[in-house]
Chain A
């Protein structure tokens, strides 16, 4: 247990260093990009004159040299203040937190869906590697992987919101309903189904292929023959001896995919008008809302690091061969 805590501490220290570097890198990158927030703000509020722009620059500290701006930014970041959004007129941290939950909900539901269904499909397909399900999965994964999520999203809306009006077209919840907390949760779930399927489709296909390949490999290994030689039933051989080993690569890939799924969520949120970080990122990019963009980038870096940390811990639990002491 002590060694687990030690490794955890080590990992967290490492993660903090990464987050700090991400802060600096993002700050520099966004300022290298073309566009001037002062003129956008001036444009939003009416007339653009040089005096107004200069006043805005001064007010937001944009007239200072870059290294001074960075110093102020980092100093505030350590205190938990990621700046103030010019456009939303709210502190960035508050803004990000208010948009964070719908995204986390979407990502977690989509990942769990893709992971469970993908593994189940792949495992079933591996039982008959030349069967119709296996061939169907090959085609399905090709389509799932190549189709952009905004396209599949729109297609799902057309099929299951217009032609078959089973699900709402877009949004997070129906504000006109007055149904109490449970009804509200069910309403959110109802809205969640199409976007999470859209996001899950990309990964479902990949996980099912991976599960199939991994299961086929494992079922051909010597220890499976040993298990059969003990006289164990085929289902014990398959699930206890086979699946346990076959899920290891899937765990790894899920962790690696987390960064991708976050960027996939941006597109899906835009299509379904889901009030999450993706929508926020989209709006703030158009507005050159530097502090919000930085806050979002920072936040997604933190999420990715946390996800990888969790994957790492899961992997250690699932595979005893990975020694706690070594990295």
Chain B
């Protein structure tokens, strides 16, 4: 994307964020020193396997980490000069849904089944924007039109079960956009949807970003979505950010062995005959249990190019290129 980024004011800065979860096996550090920044209007992708802390990062920003068992134990989340982790719950409620909003993975269950679509959209308008009821209804209809829901005047009087999955996700997006937030966090927004609908939702998000100049944090494990949407990408593994780079760098010259594995795992469609088919790539091994992480790199047991010190010392983050950071000992000498 644009390189003048550094000169723009940072919209959101996450600094050394640590989140612990109390589990039966002990305390699991689900986020370990997560740091990144987000510029206005930027699309930041966060990728990684299930359980790597992508969603927990998003929930931490929203102040919605389920507590108990989870707890933010350290770090800073600076939004507009304010540390969100030190806000009162009242202040946080004013930011949530108003300045920062979120759409979730599961559109089928994310809407309240007994409340009409219109009421679910107007709720935050009435709360944050103090609109009158009639104005809020008009705005809700307008929002539904904007997210390309057909017959919005009719839809606002319907219940979620009367809509398809794709339509429900559009409603979710309309809810998230209602108060014109400056940050939209999309946590795997298309995972539960058909491929054709996925493309529509991504197009919609890009279109809305263009119109409203809002920043998007896109959480996904779909590298295709990242390639299409994101400007910059964070790769996470076992609660840590292991590589940060522009989307082109991540896709074309990934540095961290885990990122390389992740990219090589993306299946490529072959048009040729059956004999040309290759078996799918995989990264051998499994993600380690977060309760029993050692001192070294969490990826070390699965890593093909591990060094002796990888098992002992946690790698620090190296600047390997302009806008390219990698947490791996392989890059120490550079």
Chain B residues with CB under 8 Å of A229's CB are 62, 64, 96-97, 101-102, 104, 176
State whether the Cβ of B113 lies closer than 8 Å to any Cβ in chain A: yes
Q: Is the interface of A mostly helix, strand, loop or mixed?
A: helix
Q: Which segment, of A53-61, A201-209, A314-322, faces chain B?
A: A314-322
Task: Report yes or no: B114 in contact with A231, Cβ–Cβ below 8 A.
Answer: no
Given the interface contacts A222-B106, A320-B159, A320-B161, does A227 sit within 8 Å of B93 by beta carbon?
Answer: no
Closest to B123 in A: A230
Given the interface contacts A222-B106, A233-B93, A320-B159, does A228 sit within 8 Å of B112 by beta carbon?
Answer: no
B181 to chain A, nearest CB (A): 10
State whether the Cβ of A260 lies closer than 8 Å to any Cβ in chain B: no
State whether the Cβ of B115 lies closer than 8 Å to any Cβ in chain A: yes
Closest to A321 in B: B161
A226 to chain B, nearest CB (A): 5
State whether the Cβ of A300 lies closer than 8 Å to any Cβ in chain B: no
Chain A residues with CB under 8 Å of B98's CB are 231
Task: Report yes or no: A231 in contact with B159, Cβ–Cβ below 8 A.
Answer: no
Task: Report yes or no: B113 in contact with A245, Cβ–Cβ below 8 A.
Answer: yes
Residues of A in contact with B, size category: 20 to 34
- Residues 287-308 of A, flagged 1 when their CB comes within 8 A of B and 0 if not, give 0000000000000000000000
Chain B residues with CB under 8 Å of A226's CB are 104, 110-112, 172, 175
Which of B102, B123, B128 gathers the greatest number of chain A CB atoms within 10 Å? B123
Q: Which of B102, B123, B159, B176 contacts A232 (CB 8 A)?
A: B123
Residues of B in contact with A, size category: 20 to 34
Chain A residues with CB under 8 Å of B115's CB are 240-241, 244
Task: Report yes or no: A245 in contact with B112, Cβ–Cβ below 8 A.
Answer: yes
Q: A226-B172, A233-B93 are in contact. List 15 more A-B contacts (CB 8 A).
A: A222-B110, A226-B104, A226-B110, A229-B62, A229-B104, A230-B101, A231-B97, A231-B98, A231-B127, A245-B112, A248-B114, A320-B114, A320-B159, A321-B114, A321-B161
Chain B residues with CB under 8 Å of A319's CB are 113-114
- Residues 71-91 of A, flagged 1 when their CB comes within 8 A of B and 0 if not, give 000000000000000000000
Chain A residues with CB under 8 Å of B128's CB are 231
A310 to chain B, nearest CB (A): 19
Q: Which of A222, A228, A231, A244 contacts B95 (CB 8 A)?
A: A231
Task: Report yes or no: A223 in contact with B64, Cβ–Cβ below 8 A.
Answer: no
Task: Report yes or no: A228 in contact with B64, Cβ–Cβ below 8 A.
Answer: yes
Q: Which of A223, A240, A248 contacts B109 (CB 8 A)?
A: A223
Chain A residues with CB under 8 Å of B114's CB are 244-245, 248, 318-321
Closest to B119 in A: A240
Give me 8 A-to-B residue pairs in the complex whose CB atoms sit less than 8 angstroms apart, sorted by A's number. A226-B172, A228-B64, A228-B96, A229-B62, A319-B113, A320-B159, A321-B114, A321-B161
State whether the Cβ of A221 lies closer than 8 Å to any Cβ in chain B: yes
State whether the Cβ of B94 lies closer than 8 Å to any Cβ in chain A: yes
Chain B residues with CB under 8 Å of A244's CB are 112, 114-115
State whether the Cβ of B182 lies closer than 8 Å to any Cβ in chain A: no
Q: State A257–B102 Cα separation when bound (angstroms).
A: 42
State whether the Cβ of B190 lies closer than 8 Å to any Cβ in chain A: no
Chain A residues with CB under 8 Å of B57's CB are none
Which chain B residues numbered 113 to 147 have a C-beta less than 8 Å away from chain A?
113-115, 123-124, 127-128
- Residues 224-258 of A, flagged 1 when their CB comes within 8 A of B and 0 if not, give 01111111110000001100110010000000000
Task: Report yes or no: B111 in contact with A223, Cβ–Cβ below 8 A.
Answer: yes
Task: Report yes or no: B64 in contact with A225, Cβ–Cβ below 8 A.
Answer: yes
Given the interface contacts A222-B104, A320-B159, does A230 sit within 8 Å of B109 by beta carbon?
Answer: no
Which chain A residues numbered 155 to 203 have a C-beta less than 8 Å away from chain B?
none
Task: Report yes or no: A321 in contact with B110, Cβ–Cβ below 8 A.
Answer: no
Closest to A323 in B: B161
Task: Report yes or no: A321 in contact with B159, Cβ–Cβ below 8 A.
Answer: yes
Task: Report yes or no: B104 in contact with A230, Cβ–Cβ below 8 A.
Answer: no
Chain B residues with CB under 8 Å of A228's CB are 64, 96
Chain A residues with CB under 8 Å of B127's CB are 230-232
Chain B residues with CB under 8 Å of A241's CB are 112, 115
Q: State A318–B159 Cα separation when bound (angstroms).
A: 13
A230 to chain B, nearest CB (A): 4
Q: State A232–B175 Cα separation when bound (angstroms).
A: 13
Chain B residues with CB under 8 Å of A230's CB are 96-97, 101, 123-124, 127, 175
Q: State A230–B121 Cα separation when bound (angstroms).
A: 10
Chain A residues with CB under 8 Å of B94's CB are 231
Which chain B residues numbered 167 to 209 have a C-beta less than 8 Å away from chain A?
172, 175-176
Q: State A285–B206 Cα separation when bound (angstroms).
A: 78
B26 to chain A, nearest CB (A): 20
Q: State A244–B102 Cα separation when bound (angstroms).
A: 24
Task: Report yes or no: A223 in contact with B172, Cβ–Cβ below 8 A.
Answer: no
Q: State A98–B201 Cα separation when bound (angstroms).
A: 67
Closest to A241 in B: B112
A312 to chain B, nearest CB (A): 17
Closest to B114 in A: A244
- Residues 218-247 of B, flagged 1 when their CB comes within 8 A of A and 0 if not, give 000000000000000000000000000000
A270 to chain B, nearest CB (A): 42
Chain A residues with CB under 8 Å of B109's CB are 221-223
Chain A residues with CB under 8 Å of B106's CB are 222
Which of A225, A226, A248 gathers the greatest number of chain B CB atoms within 10 Å? A226
Task: Report yes or no: A231 in contact with B96, Cβ–Cβ below 8 A.
Answer: yes
Task: Report yes or no: B124 in contact with A231, Cβ–Cβ below 8 A.
Answer: yes
B62 to chain A, nearest CB (A): 6
Q: State A225–B187 Cα separation when bound (angstroms).
A: 13
Q: State A7–B151 Cα separation when bound (angstroms).
A: 29
